[in-house]
Amino acid sequence: MSTVKPAVEPRLPLRHFADFSGTLEANARQERAKLGIADTEKVLLFRGDFVPKNMPGILLEAFLYFLQTAKIADWHLILAGAGSLETTLREMAKGDLRIHFLPFGEPAITYRIGDLCVSPIGHGNSVAEAMISSRAVLVTEKASNTLFLIQPGVTGWSVDSAHPELWFDYMKAASQTKLRAMGKSAQESFLTHFSEKKVDK
């Protein structure tokens, strides 16, 4: 009997994201260092196509507002991907040293560059790959097929897409220790719901 593929799963086999030796985390730390991000600083990471439906422009605008109003200097935003909005996004960033652009890269490494991953529309593949990589996820209510994986303050946060100015309120008090614990819980939660045995490859 064939199994039904879940709506939320990574694009690559789960074993691709396994990091038993810590090599993937080490590679991610090296990538952060290349960007001039200190170990004590935190990274919000978006990985996806730079197209309107994925809301990268709204995300960047909201993050810039967060930096301005919260007056918190230890957060960076990484936009990893490519697409029709790239030029616009770079112009919006205005050379801010806390905004970084990367190519898609190897997903098992790219997601680990972040301390918290964000997917405004909750793309199933992106949420899955971030969670397997031991990263908590920030989504909006538009993430209809992934909301069941988001336990507020445990595996991530869900925010109101209509109020991007409030998207990052949870981040103000989130320490790296808290984010690491949430990432571990996110991975455990995902693997509880899905495994190689459950996914019909």
Q: Using the CB atoms, write b or e for 12-25: b if 16+ within 10 Å.
A: eebeebebeeeebe
Element (DSSP H or E) covering residue 76: strand 75-82
pLDDT for the residue numbered 12: 61
Distance CA 146, CA 121 (A): 9
Rg of the chain taking only CA atoms, in angstroms:
16
The candidate with the shortest Cα–Cα distance to 192, out of 155, 166, 138, is: 155
**Tell me: the pLDDT tens digits for 165-201?**
999 999 988 999 999 999 999 999 998 887 644 433 3
Token pair, residue 142, equals: 């538009």
pLDDT higher than 90, residue 150: yes
**DSSP codes, 122-148:** --HHHHHHHHHTT-EEEEETT-TTTGG
Q: Alpha helices, DSSP H only, in the chain?
A: 23-34, 56-70, 86-93, 107-113, 124-132, 176-193
Nearest to 152 by CA among 135, 165, 139, 134: 139
- HSE of 70, CA atoms in CB hemisphere, 13 A: 19
User: pTM score > 0.85 for this model?
Assistant: yes
User: What are the structural domains of the chain?
Assistant: 14-193 (3.40.50.2000)
Instruction: Give the integer Cα–Cα distance in Å for 171 and 156.
Output: 11
The separation between CA 76 and the C-alpha centre of its own chain, rounded to angstroms, equals 12
Give the whole-angstrom CA distance, residue 171 versus residue 116: 9
Asked if pLDDT for residue 107 goes beyond 70, the answer is yes
Q: Is the pLDDT higher at 150 or at 198?
A: 150
Among residues 176, 198, 189, the alpha carbon closest in space to that of 132 is found at 189
- Say whether pLDDT at 148 is over 70: yes
